[in-house]
Amino acid sequence: MERLTIGKNLIIEIFLLVGVVSCGVVQSPDAVELVRLKFGGGSDWYNGPTELPNIAAYVRENCGVNIFATGKYVEPLDEDLFSYPFIFMTGHGSVQFTEQEAQRLRQYLEAGGFLFVNDDYGLDKSFRREVKKIFPDKELLELPFDHPVYHCFYDFPSGLPKIHEHDGKPPQGFGIFINGRLVLFYDYESDIADGWDDPEVHNDPPEKREEALKMGTNIIIYALTH
């Protein structure tokens, strides 16, 4: 099985991050690049081009983590898939993975990768169907509010913040676990990634954008330290 090709210095940085990230002093010549997942099915997987650059800048400025995003995307069968410890997935419409793509995504997650899935409204039904292709033996489990992803940097005692209103439902965070490790985090009825966009895109109140950026920071810090 392939393993994530994370550099030696980055591995050292990640271990240091567990102990000193709150001081914002982590430095390393290596850098983590955030990328998004391109997938089939007809959804706008590419929407929100300012989301990853903005969340990367926020994490870099507030946590001292050497992290960036340039708008790059990967597909499940790309050779360099395993080069990225964190992959972002979003969209409004349908999701569809081939059996080969599903198997490759499972290999990626089993090898140490992390997938954050943001329901940008309309993704839920097809995503829940397709995640069963990746993990037919597992269920999406709702995370309790005391899970570390809600507390590893900023404190969210009530779980995911509500950023955009869709169907009047409370926000929920779901996950897939492998040997106790959260490898896939799915936000539903929260749409936190919209809060990462440039302010004029959605005209979200500043406090909502701040909540979204802080929760995104937690997800990224958790992924890089577990």
Would you say 211 and 163 are in contact if contact means Cβ atoms under 8 Å apart? yes
Question: Residue 226's pLDDT is what?
Answer: 86
Which pair of tokens denotes residue 224? 């890089």
More confident residue, 167 or 138: 138
Q: Rounded to an integer, what distance in angstroms lies between the CA atom of residue 60 and that of residue 213?
A: 12
CB atoms within 10 A of CB 24: 11
> Band of the pLDDT at 202, cuts 50, 70, 90?
confident
pLDDT average, residue stretch 99-107: 98
Which pair of tokens denotes residue 192? 């936190």
Tens-place pLDDT, residues 5-28: 443 344 334 434 433 333 232 334
Would you say 87 and 58 are in contact if contact means Cβ atoms under 8 Å apart? no
Please choose, from the candidates 134, 29, 11, 5, the residue with its C-alpha nearest in 3D space to the C-alpha of residue 80: 5
User: Does the pLDDT of residue 155 top 90, yes or no?
Assistant: yes
Question: Residue 121's pLDDT is what?
Answer: 84
User: Does the pLDDT of residue 29 top 70, yes or no?
Assistant: no
Tens-place pLDDT, residues 164-201: 777 778 999 999 999 999 999 999 999 899 999 988 87
Which domains, ranges and CATH numbers included, belong to the chain? 8-225 (3.40.50.12140)
Question: Residue 204's pLDDT is what?
Answer: 83
Q: Rounded to an integer, what distance in angstroms lies between the CA atom of residue 24 and that of residue 14?
A: 13
User: Does the pLDDT of residue 138 top 70, yes or no?
Assistant: yes
In sequence order, the 6+-apart residues with CB closer than 8 A to the CB of 189 are 119, 162, 166, 167, 169, 170, 171, 172
What is the side-by-side order of every strand in the sheet holding 73-74?
73-74, 35-37, 86-91, 114-119, 181-188, 172-178, 141-142
> Band of the pLDDT at 4, cuts 50, 70, 90?
low
Please choose, from the candidates 222, 31, 201, the residue with its C-alpha nearest in 3D space to the C-alpha of residue 116: 222
DSSP character at residue 45: T
Question: Residue 165's pLDDT is what?
Answer: 72
Question: Residue 93's pLDDT is what?
Answer: 87
Question: Residue 166's pLDDT is what?
Answer: 72
Q: What sign has the CA pseudo-torsion 96, 99, 104, 107?
A: positive
Range of lowest pLDDT (4-13, 23-32, 103-112)? 4-13
Q: Rounded to an integer, what distance in angstroms lies between the CA atom of residue 77 and that of residue 10?
A: 24
Average pLDDT, the chain: 87
